[in-house]
Amino acid sequence: MSCTNEALNNTAHLNRLKASLEKASNNQQDAQGKWFGKETLLFCSAPDTGESSSRDTHYPFNCDGISKIFRIGAAQVTGKPYPWTGNQVEYILPGENVGMKPSDMFRPNEDKVLRTGSSVATALAAGLAAMIIHCVRLGAVYNFHKNNRIGVSERSIRAIKTFKGMKAAFQTISKSDWAKGDKSLEVETFFKDDGDELSKDAPKSEKDNEQWKEEKWENVAKIARSLLHDNVEKEYAKC
């Protein structure tokens, strides 16, 4: 648990936990217990043991006393839950035969192997949360310099770093029938239009280039506002 303690000492905003421990050691429970008392976003992978009626068998995934935690499971290529994910996850993300882009590979022989499991999906969930925080931060910077009173602000940054604020953002990205049991996060669908705009190449002329940069900033601020509605800020930000 040295990595968890290191993150605690450096006041990290995100942490990804693995739920494969059927019985955590005292040191592990103590370190992770400190996380649960902080306003930190915690992402925990399903133990991938299938559906079970028993409770508190895997720490911290199955613990009833831990509420502020994102329980993540793997989705198959079809979008349906991975068979061993179980029924206690809150969100599912790709977790079957997931590969890395060649440009991201640090150890080609190992990194080219396709990975399957909820731990893979949990890494994606934590990465998504980090991107959302960064997006809101950039949007707040843009609105500050433009003196925009309507849009994300410093208060928005505080709100998105809370469990309830991030959960509201995840709900926005999830399918409309999430309440009926579909736990998929529609990341590609949600970000597609604005993402396509952000990926456009820069124009050649200097004048058009400045306009292009301005439009990119504006698009990021727009995404941030759609992720974090004003009523969410008022409820969860610490003013």
On whether the CB atoms of residues 186 and 173 are closer than 8 A, the answer is: yes
Q: What would the pLDDT profile of 214-230 be if each residue is shown by its tens digit?
A: 889 899 999 999 998 76
What whole-number distance in Å separates Cα of residue 119 and Cα of residue 93? 10
Read off the tokens for 58: 């895997």
Read off the tokens for 227: 């992720």
* Highest-scoring range by mean pLDDT, 15-29, 155-169, 206-220: 155-169
Residue 191 makes CB contacts below 8 A (sequence gap 6+) with: 223
CA 108, 113, 114, 118 torsion-angle sign = negative
Which pLDDT belongs to residue 55? 52
CB atoms within 10 A of CB 21: 17
Sorted by where each starts, the structural domains of the chain and their CATH numbers stand as 2-236 (3.40.50)
- Does residue 232 carry a pLDDT above 90? no
Read off the tokens for 37: 């008392």
Whose tokens are 């019985």? That residue is 23
**pTM as predicted:** 0.80
Mean pLDDT of 82-87: 84
Mean pLDDT of 70-85: 89
